Amino acid sequence: MSHQQIYSGDVQQMPLPYAVRSEINQRKNNEDSFQIFALSLGWGRALLPVLAVADGMGGHAHGEDVSREALRKISLALFEQLSVSPSLNQLQPLAPLDAKILSAALQDSIAQANGYVKKMVDVNHWGKAGSTVVIAAILENTAVVANLGDSPLFHYRAKDGHLTQVTEEHTLAGVLLRQGMISSEMARSHFGRNQLSLYLGYPDFTTNLSPTRQVAISPGDLLLLCSDGVSSSLEHQQIADILAGADLEEMANRLVAASRDAGATDNQTLILWRHPERKTPADTIVLSSYTTVQ
């Protein structure tokens, strides 16, 4: 039985620039979590869209609790650093946010979430529990990206159909691949592809373990954030072919269906974001519908 969440809305009669899917697939419960919000950066500054997906460590109890609370902590830490602290006792208009400050805020927020997850797991005696995370903050025409674990982010360039996996996979197979010890084909079937080498809840975490990446994005470009229940069964060319479509909802459905056809049995969560052709005031966004299908 699958669990599907479909979100749609209107921005002054215009569709939202994203589609979301989150399905149980063949698991007993959904350990994935996701979040999409626009962060207020202070009066007179543009809002900051933030996209995030977290995957509770597969097969471990309380994975859904860890992934949900990890995203909650990251979002609160970002709000504190980028909105609350800069505006306290500030007489002058705030300077524009730059990518360097945003990168540092993302790194620190992930570090705070890691400490929070470790404490939550320890206090509740949950044993080995944790979560992956992939997050993108959209600063004008730049996506600032950070990740831990094997939930990837892909950038699809609209002008030429080129697909790039922006994030590195923090798995044993990913480590061996980056060291040149196995090929990308071998990594797809390697026994270490599901063994995380870095994740939220990691015992010896420092901020330099989660470097950020900056990706130049143009209007019409797509960002795909997903759990490995979507990506691990698909070749990059399959993903690129699907993202060559026009309708976000249709592409999201095709990604989920294609990964299932390829043998995916894990939870499947994705956010598919199309960079808008023009700036849209985020405070006019109204979430108009929420549908759950089982």
Domain of residue 72, CATH code: 3.60.40.10
The pLDDT tens digits for 168-199 are: 988 755 554 555 555 455 455 544 456 688 89
The pLDDT tens digits for 26-59 are: 898 999 999 999 999 887 778 999 999 999 985 5
In the block, tokens 């010896």 appear at: 204
Using CA atoms, how far apart are residues 38 and 48, in angstroms rounded to an integer?
5
213 is in which domain, residue-wise? Answer: 4-293
Task: Please count the structural domains in the chain.
Answer: 1
Beta strand segments in the chain, E:
4-11, 14-15, 18-23, 32-39, 48-55, 133-139, 142-148, 153-157, 162-165, 213-216, 222-226, 268-274, 286-293
Q: What is the mean pLDDT of residues 222-249?
A: 96
- The residues, any chain, with a CB within 8 Å of residue 117's CB and separated by 6 or more, are 66, 69, 70, 73, 129, 130, 131, 200, 201
- In the chain, the amino acid numbered 192 is G
Using CA atoms, how far apart are residues 255 and 114, in angstroms rounded to an integer?
30
What does the pLDDT read at residue 204? Answer: 81
Answer whether 0.75 is exceeded by the pTM.
yes
